[in-house]
């Protein structure tokens, strides 16, 4: 198979860090906070590398849109087995306004430019829990509310990785050394002909309200009384 796979990897706040909202409510605190690759993106990379190891695809390209630091995330993807990286340089105000629409435009433009047959992303898409590569189509098993669903899709296609798709590998020390030699290309969104203007404006960011303590009741009558009191029934 001579297919190329594009995998999107995003640099996000580390999942173990407690997120705090900035005092001016314009966003969350990111300065000095530990960042790493989105765990779902790790699963996406793992799936792509496994496909390459099974010799079903030829090349894995890791892509990240963001400021200079996104290159660290691409390096981690390279250390896990991706062949080369593309860093779409977006910084400052543009980065703050970068929404799903803009990123999709960028990925679509890159997919065309690099002649990509399959794009694998972390969650929020088709939630694949198993992917089978066939001649020119994919058999994807995904988890839905009622159970499991198996669908067949033609390529080029976009698949997103769910938690149970695989267990990502550790980047071994020798692979980290090898990743040093792999290429990362930098492109600007304008090179891809993508317009970054956003239709959305962030008005304010707030923490979710604190969970209130619950109240225990002794009997069903008590429960009904409480529900009436709070105007629910």
Partner 1 sequence: MAASWARSGLKFCRNFVKPWSVEVWKGQAVGARRGITQASTERAGVNGFLHAPLQTFCEEESMMKDAVKKFAQERIAPLVSKMDEQSHMDESVLHGLFEQGFMGIEIDEHYGGTGASFFTSILVIEELAKVDPSVAVLCDIQNTLINTLFRKCGTEEQKSYYLPRLATNMIGSFCLSEAESGSDAFSLKTKAEKHKDYYIINGSKMWISNSEQAGVFLVMANANASAGYRGITCFIVDRDTEGLSIGKKENKLGLRASSTCPLTFDNVKVPESNILGELGQGYKYAIGMLNGGRIGIAAQMLGLAQGCFDNAIPYTQQRIQFGKRIFDFQGMQHQIAHVATQIEAARLLTYNAARLSEAGRPFIKEACMAKYYASEVATLTTSKCIEWMGGVGFTKDYPIEKFYRDCKIGSIYEGTSNIQLTTMAKFIDREYQA
Of the two residues 68 and 186, which places its CB atom closer to partner 1 in the complex?
68
Strand partners, 142: 128, 149
Provide the minimum distance between the beta carbon of 121 and partner 1 in the complex, in angstroms, as a whole number: 22
Which single residue is written with the structure tokens 């390279």?
78
Quick check: bond before 156 cis, omega within 30? Answer: yes
181 part of the interface to partner 1, by CB under 8 A: no
Tell which one of 173, 215, 220, 233 touches partner 1 (CB under 8 A): 173
Q: Does 72 bind partner 1 (CB under 8 A)?
A: yes
- Phi and psi at 73, nearest 5°, equal -65, -40
Judged by CB under 8 A, does residue 170 bind partner 1? Answer: yes
Q: Is 76 in the site for partner 1 (CB under 8 A)?
A: yes
By CB under 8 A, residue 75 contacts partner 1 = yes
Helix (H) or strand (E) holding 100: helix 100-114
Pick out residues in 79-108 that bind partner 1 (CB under 8 A). 79
Contact flag: residue 184 with partner 1 (CB under 8 A): no
Closest approach, Cβ 175 to partner 1, in A, equals 8
Q: HEC string of 51-79?
A: HHHCCCCCEEEEEEEECCCHHHHHHHHHH
Both tokens of residue 124? 């929020």
Dihedral sign (CA 89, 94, 100, 104): negative
Contact pick of 174, 208, 214, 231 for partner 1 (by CB under 8 A):
174
- Stretch near partner 1 under the rule CB under 8 A, chosen from 2-10, 68-76, 104-112, 224-232: 68-76
CA 227 – CA 207 distance, rounded (Å): 28
Check binding of 68 to partner 1 (CB under 8 A): yes
Q: Are 183 and 84 in contact (CB under 8 A)?
A: yes
Dig out the tokens for 214 from the structure: 């619950």
Least distance to partner 1, CB of residue 184, Å = 12
- The answer to the question of residue 177 lying near partner 1 (CB under 8 A) is yes
Applying CB under 8 A, the residues found at the interface with partner 1 are 36, 68, 72, 75-76, 79, 170-177, 179-180
């Amino acid at each position: 198979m001579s297919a190329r796979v594009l995998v999107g990897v995003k640099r996000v706040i580390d999942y173990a860090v407690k997120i705090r909202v900035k005092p001016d409510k314009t966003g969350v605190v990111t300065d000095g906070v530990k960042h790493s690759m989105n765990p779902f993106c790790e699963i996406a990379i793992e799936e792509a590398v496994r496909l390459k190891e099974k010799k079903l695809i030829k090349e894995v390209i890791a892509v990240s849109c963001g400021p200079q630091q996104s290159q660290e995330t691409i390096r981690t993807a390279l250390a896990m087995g991706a062949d080369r990286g593309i860093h779409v340089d977006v910084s400052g105000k543009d980065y703050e306004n970068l929404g799903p629409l803009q990123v999709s435009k960028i990925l679509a433009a890159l997919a065309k430019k690099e002649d990509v047959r399959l794009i694998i992303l972390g969650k929020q898409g088709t939630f694949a829990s198993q992917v089978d590569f066939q001649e020119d189509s994919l058999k994807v098993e995904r988890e839905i509310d009622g159970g499991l669903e198996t669908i067949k899709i033609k390529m080029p296609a976009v698949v997103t990785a769910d938690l149970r798709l695989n267990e990502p590998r550790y980047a071994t020390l020798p692979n980290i050394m090898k990743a040093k030699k792999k290429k990362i290309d930098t492109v600007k969104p304008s090179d891809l002909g993508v317009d970054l203007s956003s239709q959305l404006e962030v008005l304010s960011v707030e923490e979710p309200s604190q969970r209130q303590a619950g109240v225990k009741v002794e009997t069903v009558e008590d429960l009904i009384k409480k529900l009436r009191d709070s105007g629910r029934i």
